[in-house]
Amino acid sequence: MKFYRPLRAVKAITFDLDDTLYDNYPVIRKTTAESHAALQAYHPALREFTPRDYQALRDELLACEPEIYHDVSEWRRRSVELALLNAGLPAQEATAGADEIMNVFHHWRSQVEMPEETHQTLKALGAEVPLVAITNGNAHPEQLGIAEYFQFALRAGPDGRAKPYQDMYHLAMQRLGVAPEQILHVGDDLTTDVAGALRCGMQACWINLHGGNLMQISDARLLPHVEISRLASLTSLL
Ligand SMILES: [Mg+2]
């Protein structure tokens, strides 16, 4: 554990989900492959549809509707729907198909191997202070089996713009009724988690699970209060 700024009393903790509470890399790889296969299988015209084709549709949507960036699930659903429309399906069928493929996506998305350390740590911390989940992604704490530890969860899209925008940080403070400087936000991303939380006056903890060096990472612009290399270290901060 490394301290870069003096840490004040912590009255609540907010958590990023992906790559903070579990390793999301294998999950996303598998999920992406399975949902792409489901899309290819959905209609004969899409049998040769490549991930690159799919990316082109995502880029096209983003260019037309920049705000869709903040809702990754809706962005994905609309991209799949567009692929089905381009394949010649009528609008209603394209929507139904997109929903079906999104069900495949969400099924694989929730197949996370949750470390026992995460359960133990959240349980111990939750007995001391309220915990909140704040994610830019489409993971749902209920589907991951960790909802019981959190007072509530906020997701980019339905709950505001993605981190590092301050929408969800402010919403968390309001709903918790705790001053920003008494909240510790924990996350793996220096730009969205650390810089985003610091800019709204919260304390920040960077979880460095892959042995990164803060002094050599190009997007490290603001120092967190504390750096940890495993989640369980948090229990010693309260
Ligand atoms: Mg993350």
The pLDDT tens digits of the residues spanning 155-194 come to 999 999 999 999 999 999 999 999 999 999 999 999 999 9
Q: What confidence tier does 25 reach under pLDDT thresholds 50, 70, 90?
A: very high
The DSSP annotation for 131-199 comes to EEEEESS---HHHHT-GGG-SEEEETBTTBSPTTSSHHHHHHHHHHT--GGGEEEEES-IIIIIIHHHH
Cα of 191 vs centre of ligand 1, distance in Å, is 10
* Cβ-contact 98, 77 below 8 angstroms: yes
Cα of 59 vs centre of ligand 1, distance in Å, is 22
Lowest average pLDDT, out of 73-87, 156-170, 215-229, goes to 215-229
Which residues are bridge partners to 226 per DSSP?
3, 205
207's enclosing H/E stretch is strand 203-207
Examine the pLDDT at 220 and tell me if it is beyond 90. no
12's enclosing H/E stretch is strand 12-15
Q: Please give the Cα distance from 68 to 219 (Å, whole number).
A: 24
The pLDDT tens digits of the residues spanning 119-163 come to 999 999 999 999 999 999 989 999 999 999 999 999 999 999 999
Write down the pLDDT at residue 201: 97
Spatial CB neighbours of 77, under 8 Å, sequence gap ≥ 6: 98, 99, 102
Q: What confidence tier does 221 reach under pLDDT thresholds 50, 70, 90?
A: confident
Q: Is 16 a catalytic residue?
A: yes
Q: Please give the Cα distance from 120 to 167 (Å, whole number).
A: 29
Cα of 50 vs centre of ligand 1, distance in Å, is 27
Cα of 188 vs centre of ligand 1, distance in Å, is 5
Among the listed residues 16, 18, 71, 188, the single catalytic one is 16
Number of H helices, E strands in the chain: 8, 7
Ion ligand 1 nearby residues (CB, 5 A): 16, 18-20, 188
Cα of 104 vs centre of ligand 1, distance in Å, is 22
Which residues are bridge partners to 2 per DSSP?
227
The end-to-end CA distance of the chain, in Å, is: 14
Cα of 195 vs centre of ligand 1, distance in Å, is 13
Which among 84, 33, 92 has a CA at the least distance from the CA of 57? 84
* Cβ-contact 113, 137 below 8 angstroms: no
Q: Please give the Cα distance from 220 to 198 (Å, whole number).
A: 12
